[in-house]
C-alpha cells in the first residue's frame, strides 16, 4: 500500500468519479482505475460499489477512507513541521548541567535562549558529571555542560569556560584579615575538602605538592546532594577552611557567613566542558544552542 494509492482512492471517494479524480490528480482515468484495483487486490476487499455511473463506498471503503484521510493529513503537515524545526520555531532541546554550571551561568543562559526561541521547549537536568555523561550516551540529553571531560568516544567535548575557585574561612579567621597569605602557611590549617579524586581536591593537592607539602584534610565530604552546603556550614561553624567555586559562596560572603583568604600565587579555576553526543551534531537545536553559548558573556 502506497501513499499515492491512498490519495487516489480518497480523491475518487471525494469527487464521486474516477474521471474527475483523474483531472484533480492530473493522471488518466485508466490510471486511476488501475491504482484503485491494485489497492483492492492488496487489501483483499472491495472498496467501491457501482450504483449507476457513480461509485459508492462499501463498508470497507468507508473505514479505509477515514484512516486514509488521517494518514494523508499527517503527511501533508510534515513539510511545514520540518520547516518549523529548520527555522527553530518549534521543537525540543534537552540540556544537562553540572552543579557548577547550575550555580553560575546556565539557568540565566537558558532563560535568554528561550526568549530568543520561544517555540523551543527546553528540558533541563542538573546532575553529577558521570550521570550526565551516561544520559548523553543513552540519548536522554542533547547537550550538557560538565566539570570534567567525558570518557566516552561517542561524545564530543570542548572547553567552554572557567569558574574561579576560592579559599573560604570562618568570618573571624585571622588569615581572612590579611591582604595576602603564602600558600605554605595554609598547610598548617585544618582543611575540609571533598573526597579524594574530585577536581577541586586534585587542584589544591597539586599546588601543595609543588611546594613540598602533603595535604591531609581533617574532614572529608562525599560528593552528593547537599555536600556543598555541608562544607559551607562546617567552615562557617569554625571547623576549618575549604575550597569552593566563588559562584557557590557569593551569598554567604555577602551575608558575612564566610570570608575569603587571599593566597599569593594561587589562581585556581575549574574548567567547564561543552559536551554533545556526536550523532546530535548538526541538529538545528543543538547547533543553535552551541552558537548561543559561544556568544554568551563569559563574565
pLDDT tens-place values along the chain, 299 residues long: 888 888 888 998 888 888 888 888 899 988 988 988 898 898 899 988 876 678 888 889 889 888 888 887 877 766 655 554 555 666 788 999 987 787 778 888 899 988 888 888 888 998 888 899 999 999 899 999 998 889 999 999 999 988 899 999 999 999 998 999 999 899 889 999 988 877 788 888 899 998 888 888 889 888 665 788 889 999 999 999 999 988 889 899 999 999 999 999 888 988 899 999 888 877 778 888 888 888 887 65
Half-sphere exposure of 206 (CA within 13 A, CB side): 10
Question: 175 CB contacts (<8 Å, ≥6 apart)?
Answer: 169, 181, 185, 186, 189, 241, 261
Half-sphere exposure of 166 (CA within 13 A, CB side): 19
Q: For the full predicted model, state whether its pTM sits above 0.95.
A: no
Alpha-carbon distance of 42 to 254, in angstroms, equals 76
Q: Which residues make beta-bridge pairs with 261?
A: 167
Alpha-carbon distance of 106 to 100, in angstroms, equals 9
Name the grid cell of 52: 449507476
Per-residue confidence (pLDDT) for residue 144, from 0 to 100? 94
Per-residue confidence (pLDDT) for residue 84, from 0 to 100? 46
Alpha-carbon distance of 108 to 201, in angstroms, equals 28
Alpha-carbon distance of 193 to 220, in angstroms, equals 5
Nearest to 43 by CA among 81, 89, 9, 78: 9
Q: Tell me the torsion sign for CA atoms 277, 279, 284, 285.
A: negative
Instruction: List alpha helices for 157-226, DSSP H.
Output: 183-186, 199-210
Name the grid cell of 246: 566563588
Grid cell 449507476 in the structure block, residue? 52
Amino acid at each position: 500500500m502506497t501513499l499515492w494509492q491512498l490519495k487516489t482512492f480518497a480523491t475518487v471517494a471525494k469527487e464521486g468519479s474516477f474521471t474527475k479524480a483523474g483531472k484533480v490528480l492530473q493522471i488518466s482515468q485508466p490510471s486511476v482505475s488501475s491504482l484503485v484495483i491494485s489497492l483492492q487486490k492488496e487489501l483483499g476487499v472491495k472498496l467501491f460499489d457501482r450504483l449507476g455511473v457513480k461509485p459508492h463506498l462499501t463498508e470497507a471503503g468507508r473505514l479505509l477512507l477515514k484512516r486514509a484521510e488521517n494518514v494523508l493529513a499527517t503527511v501533508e503537515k510534515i513539510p511545514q513541521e520540518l520547516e518549523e524545526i529548520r527555522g527553530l520555531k518549534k521543537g525540543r532541546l534537552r540540556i544537562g548541567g553540572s552543579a557548577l554550571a547550575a550555580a553560575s551561568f546556565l539557568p540565566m543562559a537558558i532563560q535568554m535562549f528561550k526568549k530568543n526561541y520561544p517555540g523551543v521547549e527546553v528540558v533541563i537536568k542538573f546532575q553529577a558529571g558521570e550521570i550526565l555523561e551516561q544520559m548523553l550516551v543513552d540519548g536522554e540529553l542533547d547537550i550538557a555542560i560538565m566539570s570534567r571531560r567525558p570518557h566516552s568516544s561517542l561524545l564530543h567535548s570542548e572547553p567552554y569556560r572557567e569558574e574561579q575557585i576560592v579559599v573560604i574561612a570562618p568570618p573571624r579567621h585571622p588569615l581572612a584579615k590579611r591582604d595576602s597569605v603564602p600558600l605554605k602557611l595554609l598547610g598548617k590549617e585544618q582543611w575540609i575538602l571533598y573526597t579524594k579524586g574530585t577536581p577541586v581536591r586534585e587542584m589544591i593537592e597539586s599546588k601543595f605538592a609543588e611546594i613540598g607539602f602533603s595535604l591531609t584534610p581533617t574532614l572529608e565530604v562525599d560528593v552528593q546532594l547537599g555536600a556543598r552546603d555541608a562544607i559551607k556550614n562546617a567552615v562557617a561553624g569554625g571547623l576549618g577552611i575549604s575550597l569552593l567555586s566563588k559562584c557557590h559562596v557569593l551569598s554567604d560572603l555577602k551575608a558575612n557567613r564566610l570570608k575569603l583568604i587571599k593566597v599569593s600565587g594561587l589562581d585556581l579555576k575549574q574548567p567547564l566542558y561543552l559536551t554533545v553526543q556526536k550523532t546530535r551534531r548538526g541538529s538545528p537545536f543543538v547547533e543553535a544552542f552551541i552558537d548561543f553559548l559561544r556568544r554568551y558573556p563569559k563574565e
